[in-house]
Structure 1
Amino acid sequence: MTNSSQVLYFTLTAYFDIGGLKYLYFMMVMCFYVLIVGSNVLLIAVICVNRSLHEPMFLFLCSLFVNELFGSLGLFPFLLVQILSDVHRVSAPLCFLQIFCVYSYAAVEVLNLAVMSYDRYVAICFPLQYNSTMTDRKVALLIALTWALPVLATVVLVSLSAPLRLCGNVIDKVFCGNFSIVKLSCSNTSVNNVYGLVLTVVSIVAPLVLILYTYGKILEILQSRFDLSRVPPLLAIVLSLYFLTCQPLFNPALYGLKMAAIRDACKRLLCGENAAAAAASPA
């Protein structure tokens, strides 16, 4: 039995030989990565350089876009290297670094969506109290907690897994995962299992409950404003599920691509003031 610090590398067995197709897959993944980076960098720049967009909703979006860059950086370059490589190995330090990036990204993503849903809940359900509730100090605190709590929790997670005694170095995945490391352990992993369960509940389940609650309240307001008595029950269920589940997940794309303020700011940034004004003016 050896300590994980003595394991020089892990072997990823989920990859298989695809011959010359690996270059096609490489180009596809590379294009997807470039698209992710380009779109998120553009939206971050638009929000940062336009003071009119320095409002809570857009600041939370900016935090979300930064997290998308962070998460993609922890995964896509690694995938690109592995696609072209004939030997699918990853060094132990890089493996734990990837675990940190992927897990903290996922936790920040869900928590950021929960904060965004809370912001929309206050704006729609308590519009008169919105400015006094979502102050600059509170927005800054929410963004700081959105990042600090997941990062701290993930550091603890990796710190518990790194010292484990391992009986092997084979991972049946395309990238490193904490549970895959724990399964290789020869020592007692009770603390790791309990902490992993608690971390999942706190970082994933709790924010999802907040998202469901806030959008449920927003849906109640929609029902009070429109007569849904003639809506078929099945359609009402579908609409409820959409607002409660899909809408929070689609918010980043909807805000980034469809909001007039961001569209106009993108035009000004990319085309200049005159071109943006000409595009906005009627023919």
Structure 2
Amino acid sequence: MDNTTALTFTMTAYTAMANYKHGLFTIFLLLYCITIILNSLFITLIHQNKALHQPMNVFTCMLSINEIYGSTSLLPAIMVVLMSETHEIVVKWCMAQVYFLHTYAAAEFLILAVMGYDRYAAICFPLHYHGMMSNSKIGKLVALAALYPLIVFACFYSLTLQLSFCGKVMPKLYCVNMELVKNSCSNSSILYISTVGLVLILLFVVPQVVTIVFSYVKIARVCRNLSRESQRNALKTCVPHLLSLLNYTIGSCFEIIQTRFDMTFVSIETRIFLSLYFVVIPPIANPVLYGLGTQIVRVHILNLLVRYKILPTNLVKAVIVA
């Protein structure tokens, strides 16, 4: 590292994409538009239909808002850097992107944990569900999921904001906190902030994992005492949540492994795909999973398609019955 404080970072991962940048720009633009449209339509559908104002759908709307937040913090910046000649990003914009992406990731997992608790309350205590998930309780859970990641990560991120940067290379498509720290002028700060970062990851992850595991262990125990048909109906309501959880967990693990360990033995194309997975795939998949996987939402969507003569009535009735 030299002694000059860096004003920009060079995003070296874009070098492998230089020959295909126009095609990739089109793909990223299409992915971004699909994400915004799908999640906006889902939020609008829930908001305009009082029959859909149920706790799970409230949390799903919050998930969609977070998807828009995460995608907007990443994809437009990727498109700008991709089309530039130098593939550079200003340090201040890089630091802002770190905050947006990390709070998106933390909020996503926290919302999924809250949704797991909602399934636990609905299946294990169906007669007390509306009492357990009162408007007051929903409001507190929504506030927790929205504010906790913003505040807690800001406290940790204040350490990174105090750093000066002598390194000028960011070997990724976007900025992450660990890479910022590696470019610090102070070697002692790297170990300290890395350790604090690991502790923070545990503080973010462990409570959510415990909540999700507890919820599904209880659900499994209750389902053992139900009839086969009741088991099927109960588990069907959990499928969208489990798929969303699996999808996000896989993507997050890809990113954490790449950031913390040497992955140079993996091809650059594979690393690029894996690094984008957790901010590109879940935002597109989740509104589809909850829109088509949740029966009451699916019915409203199909009725809209019939109303605008996009699908025939007979086909829609067959899908609803199935």
TM bucket, shorter chain: 0.7 to 0.9
Distance 1:113 1:168, change over 3 A: same
Q: Give 2:267's aligned residue.
A: none
Shift in Å at residue 216 of structure 1?
A: 2.0
Contact 1:268 1:275 in 2 (8 A): no
In 2, distance between residues paired with 1:15 and 1:157? 29
Q: Deviation per CA, 1:117-138: give whole Å up to 9, x if none.
A: 0000011011111111110011
In 2, distance between residues paired with 1:19 and 1:169? 20
Distance 1:51 1:246, change over 3 A: closer
Contact 2:56 2:115 in 1 (8 A): yes
Q: Deviation per CA, 1:51-75: give whole Å up to 9, x if none.
A: 1111111100000000000000011
2:14 partner SS: coil
2:201 partner SS: helix
Shift in Å at residue 19 of structure 1?
A: 4.8
Q: Give 2:133's aligned residue.
A: 134
Shift in Å at residue 2 of structure 1?
A: 9.3
Contact 1:113 1:249 in 2 (8 A): no
Q: Give 2:58's aligned residue.
A: 59
Shift in Å at residue 25 of structure 1?
A: 1.3
1:166 partner SS: coil
1:49 aligns with 2:48: yes
CA RMSD of aligned residues (A): 3.0
Contact 1:112 1:146 in 2 (8 A): yes
Q: Which amino acid aligns with 1:266?
A: I
1:165 partner SS: coil
Counterpart of 2:295 (choices 250, 254, 260) is 260
In 1, distance between residues paired with 2:175 and 2:162? 16
Unaligned runs of 5+ in 2: 229-238, 248-284
In 1, distance between residues paired with 2:71 and 2:240? 27
Shift in Å at residue 18 of structure 1?
A: 4.1
Q: Within 5 A, what are the aligned runs for 1:133-172?
A: 133-172=132-171
Q: Give 1:248's aligned residue.
A: 245
Shift in Å at residue 276 of structure 1?
A: 8.7
Q: Give 2:99's aligned residue.
A: 100
In 1, distance between residues paired with 2:132 and 2:22? 52
TM-score if structure 1 supplies the norm length? Answer: 0.83
Q: Within 5 A, what are the aligned runs for 1:193-204?
A: 193-204=194-205
TM-score if structure 2 supplies the norm length? Answer: 0.74
2:13 partner SS: coil
Q: Give 1:232's aligned residue.
A: none
In 2, distance between residues paired with 1:216 and 1:48? 32
Contact 2:10 2:88 in 1 (8 A): yes
In 2, distance between residues paired with 1:244 and 1:51? 22
Distance 1:259 1:41, change over 3 A: same
In 2, distance between residues paired with 1:201 and 1:114? 15
In 1, distance between residues paired with 2:308 and 2:51? 15
Contact 1:3 1:165 in 2 (8 A): no
Contact 1:211 1:248 in 2 (8 A): no
Unaligned runs of 5+ in 1: 228-241
Contact 2:116 2:212 in 1 (8 A): yes
1:10 partner SS: strand
Shift in Å at residue 146 of structure 1?
A: 0.3
In 2, distance between residues paired with 1:17 and 1:172? 11
